[in-house]
Each structure stands twice: as C-alpha cells, then as structure tokens.
Structure 1
Amino acid sequence: MKECFEPTFDVMEAWCHSFVPEETLYWIDSSFLDDLPASCLIIPRHEFVTHPIYRRPGITNPYVTWQMGQKVTHIVHAFSGFLTELQGHVKTRLFEYQVTTNRGLVLPISVEQMTDTSNEAIVEKNGMHFIVLNQSNWNQLAMVMRHSLLLDYAKEWDTWAGEFYDDSIASHLAAYTNRFPLQDGSNCLAATLFAVTGNEQMIHQWIHPETFLQTLKRNGYETVKDDAPEPGDLLTFWDDQEQLVHASYCVRQNLYFNKHGQVRFNPWKLIDHDELKEHWGAYRLQIERRK
C-alpha cells in the first residue's frame, strides 16, 4: 500500500506565482519573420540553446525547451504590447504554432474552464482545446482556475504516490519524503547528495554529473561490484555513452529516496525497486558504497 499525496494549498500558490516566467517566449519558423513587429527580439535557435539567460531552470522547465519541434528556427522574446501589434490572423497562427511545436506553457483546458477565460489564446487541435499562456493572461485567471489548470498539468509529470515511512527513516529524509519543491531545478543528483550529507541546502541545487561524482569521492564512496544494494548505497544509472543519467539513495532493502526529474512536479519520495526499475531499468546500474 502506497501513500498518495498532493501539493498543499501553499505549494500550489508558490507554483502559481512562479510557473509562468516574466520572459514571454514563442517558437516560430522563418515564415513568421515578415509579419512580426520590429520591437520584439527574434533569436536564432542555435543562439537560443546556448544563451545563459534561456538555459536557466526557470526558463527551460516551464517552456520544456528540450521538446522544441524540429521545424522551429527562431524564438521570439516578446516584450509588453507584442500581441497587440499583431494582425489577427498572425496572432491566431502564432498560437496554433505553439501547440504543434511542443512549446511549454500550453495547457489543456476543458469547455467548462473556457467559460471563465478569454478565447484569444485558446487553440483547438484534434478535438482538444489548449490555452497558450503568457504571464499576462495567466495572472488574469482566477485563483481557482490557475490551481485547476496547473494541478491537471502537474499530474502528467509523475506518480504522486510513495512508500510509507516511519521513525526508522533518518529525520532529514523524513522532512522531505513525499513532498514537492517550490521551484524548478532541484534534481535527482541533488536529492541523492542530500541523503548522503544531510545538508539541507544541497537538496535545492541543480547538480551536474561531474560535481556529483566528485562530491561522492570526497564523502568516501567508491564503486563496488555488487548487484545487491545495502542501506546507505547509491544507485547510479548510466547510458550507452557512459553518461550519468540518474541516481538514487538506498534507505534500506527495497526502499529508495528518489526524485525522478528536475521539475517542481517531480516530488521527493520513497519508492520501491519496481518503480526504480520501471523508470531507469533500461540504463546500466552501478552501485557506489561508502568505504
């Protein structure tokens, strides 16, 4: 039996406050260029993907930039008043393009929900309706509407069920078990290092593989040739290019402290071996153990 959980009201409010970034971005191809006002910033795709401003978790995760459609050639950084400068047919086409090219901040919306919002940014595709969000139209929605749309979207990212825990779990892990981050960015490597070190500041970081492995070494971990994890072991998962793609902390037999991704909708939770294998079993397993 697993514990089912959902974000609290305070967590939902924190999510709603920062879910839609101040930077409004739209995906386009070159056919849009002649129809857009000169007052907007149009960024070639190859510059966008390497630009430090647009690689922040607060941008990449809401906009889901890694799913950007292959036909996208440019990104519009739209400033205040951008949409009012567009002709009606250009605006309609722009919104439709966001749906077809997998831009983030495009949420499914029901017919009932549509009655409480403007139709300007509503797109219909394959019998479904979507709202193309920017900070302005997001802030205009009622609180109940924002919570409803965001909760439905957030549930698509993960299973909000974890193993029950008791007093045998270390107190620093219990404080974060079956809980959600308030912001994007904290990833599996950060969660695993937090489990190892007990340093609460560690869990909120976006940690890269080399930093992770170096920190393990400094904490006395080394690779062992064993396929039976022991309490305190770290399970690391590697792809065919020998890149580290995931890590998890073994609390005790068949119980792991884990975070499946770097978005705020991936909770920190306790999972069993079956769930770990379901998500990461396609990768090569390597066990790290403290000397």
Structure 2
Amino acid sequence: MADGYNLPAQTLEQWKALILPEKDWFFFMDDECFSYGEMDVLVKTHLSLDVKTSYLTWSLPEGVFVKKMHPGEFEELSFEARQRIAEIQWELGRGLVFDHEEMGEWFGEHVPSIYRCAGKNLVLLTKALWYSLEEHQKEGFLRSYNRMWVDDRPQWIGAAASFKAFMHREHPHLIPFLDVFPDRNGANCLAAVAFAIDASCDVYHWMQVEDFNHLMAGRKEVGDMISKDVLVWRDLEGDVIHACYVLNKDFVFNKHGQTMFNPWQLLTVEQVIISWGKPVIYR
C-alpha cells in the first residue's frame, strides 16, 4: 500500500545509509553454539532505534546473544557455518532475512548468497552484500521493502479541493508532512500530535509518554469529536500506546510507528479506528 506516499530521492539516500549498521549483527539463543569469539547478551533497552529498525529486535525472544562482525567477516566463514547462521536468524524472526523469491522481484536481478531453511531459499542481507549492489538495486529494494510497513492507502492526493483549502487555511504547517516518509528513524505518533498542535515542536523527535502526558495536561475527555481534538489509545494498564490529531470529523494526522518506514499520514477516522480500535477523545 506504500504506493502514492511521497518518498523523495534525498530520503532514499538517507535510507541507504541507515538500513544496516556499520557492523553485521547476528543473534543466537546459545552463546556456545559457534566458536566465533565472544558474544554479548542482547540488552534491548540499550539498542539504538536504527539497530532496532534494521533487525526488528522487538520480534526477538528474551535472553538472546548477539555477535557483531565487521563487513565481509561473515562471508569469510565456511558455507556450512553461514548456512546455519542464516537458519537461526530466520527461526528467530530477525529482520533483513528474506525469501529469495520476493527478493528477486525486489532487486529485479539475480540475488546471490542463497541459504536453505524450512523449504525456503533465503537471502541474508549483510553489509558486504549491500555494498555489492548497484544503486538502482538498493533503491528497488528500499521501495519494495517499505511496502511491507504500510497498510493504508494515501488520502491527500485524492482529497477534495474543499478539504485541501481547509488544510491550507487551518493547518498549513502539516501540508509538507501529509503522506510523506521521514528520512530517519525516531519520529513517533506522539511527536506528530505535538507538532500538529504546535508547529514549533520537533516532528522528528521520539517523544516519550511522560512528555506527551504533560502536553495533554488540561485537556478533558469528551464524547464527540471535532477539529483539534486528540485521539488516544491505551493498553490494559492505562499506558498510552498510540495517539493522533483530529483535523475534522473525517480525517486525522497520524503516524503508526517511530521508524523511517512509517509515513506521516492523512487517514480517515475510520482507517485509524480499524487499526487501533475505539479511542478516548481529548479536547
């Protein structure tokens, strides 16, 4: 569904630099299963958002170990070792391990480094493999990969002229951010709400819940919905898990996650409720 969202060439260049960290990271359940040197216990709270986004570390089980390798170091291992490592990465649900069939479609050309697991041909994206790709292959991969992150259709291009006039009049600072991908990781839903309320706020900031609660101080829970309200979703413990800004009775300004693959969006109220359920309305 990512087709139609704005992905400028400059943003693509930033993505190329951020898609992988400087070293390759490999994850294991047992720190003694391979003799690759010392491994570290993975502490998820210490990871940068760039690493989390690259390897989808939120999908990894607790108690895993990590081994970092310099670019090309993995490729120097025996095929048997690389094969087993690739299997483990796939089984753990780590990011940047792909079915070869879809990768071939993304790159548009033959993709090397094929491994086998669960009846699939796998491609393990490493720094060395990334370096070996042509620029058009990198762009083809990124344009295809980001489609996996977006479920909603863009609304701004096809919006009614009267609504576009309303936005230019009432929310002009949001226009450059409607259905647009950011060029870096970090911008989250709470920062999007803060920016919608106050254009001096940093829309790229990873806003914490405490700061968001301070921003919301003074707002009251209401039963209906009008322009400039804030929709908030909470978990069973009452913690904020999502928020978006009401533009009018039909549309909201939204960002589903804090990664560079989550665009700022113009969504219908119906779309965001389908994604998150019934919200609490604050005014």
TM bucket, shorter chain = 0.7 to 0.9
Matches within 5 A, 1:109-128: 109-110=100-101, 111=104, 113=107, 115-119=109-113, 122-125=114-117, 128=120
Distance 1:141 1:148, change over 3 A: same
Secondary structure of the structure 2 residue equivalent to 1:262:
coil
Equivalent of residue 145 in structure 2, options 150, 153, 173? 153
Distance in 2 (CA, whole Å) between partners of 1:81 and 1:153 is: 23
Residue in 2 that maps onto 1:223: 220
CA, structure 1 residues 143+160, in 2 after alignment: closer, same or farther (shift >3 Å)?
farther
Question: Do the aligned residues in 1 keep the contact of 2:71 with 2:126 (CA within 8 Å)?
Answer: no
The answer to whether residue 268 in structure 2 is matched with residue 272 in structure 1 is yes
**Residue 192 of structure 2 is aligned to residue 191 of structure 1:** yes
The aligned residue for residue 26 of structure 2 is 26
TM alignment of 1:131-146, pairs within 5 A: 131-146=123-138
Superimposed CA distance per residue, residues 144-178 of structure 1 (whole angstroms, 9 cap, x where no aligned partner): 21122222221011134224251211110112111
Tell me the secondary structure at the aligned position of residue 183 of structure 1.
Answer: coil
Alpha-carbon offset, residue 81 of structure 1: 5.1
Distance in 2 (CA, whole Å) between partners of 1:109 and 1:84 is 18
Residue identity in the other structure for 2:257:
G
Summarize the Cα distance change of 1:142–1:84 in structure 2 as closer, same or farther, 3 Å threshold.
Answer: closer
Match of 1:61 in 2: 53
2:228 corresponds to 1:232: yes
Distance 1:152 1:36 in 2: 36
Return the match for 2:282 from 272, 281, 288.
288
Distance apart, 1:114 and its partner CA: 8.1
- Give the alignment's TM-score, normalised by structure 1: 0.84
**C-alpha displacement of 1:107:** 3.3
Q: Could you tell me which residue of structure 1 aligns to residue 207 of structure 2? A: 207
Per-residue CA deviation, residues 42-91 of structure 1 (Å, 9 max, x unaligned), is 1124xx223x2x2x111111111010146x63111223553255333112
Q: 1:249 aligns with which of 242, 245, 250?
A: 245
Counterparts of residues 40-55 of structure 1 (less than 5 Å): 41-45=38-42, 48-50=43-45, 52=46, 54=47
Equivalent position SS for 1:95: helix
For residue 267 of structure 1, report the CA deviation from its aligned partner.
Answer: 0.8
- Is there any run of 5+ residues in structure 1 with no aligned partner, and where? none
Whether the 8 Å CA contact 1:249–1:257 is kept in 2: the answer is yes
Q: Is the 8 A contact 2:179 2:266 kept in 1?
A: yes
Q: Which runs of 5+ in 2 are unaligned?
A: none
Distance 1:16-1:196 versus aligned 2 partners, 3 A rule = same
What secondary structure is seen at the aligned counterpart in 1 of 2:89?
helix
Distance 1:149 1:130 in 2: 15
Q: Is the 8 A contact 2:72 2:127 kept in 1?
A: no
Equivalent in the alignment of 2:166:
168
Q: CA deviation at 1:190?
A: 0.5
Percent pairwise identity: 23
Partner of 1:10: 10
CA contact (8 A) 1:37 1:82 kept: no
1:36 corresponds to which residue?
A: 35
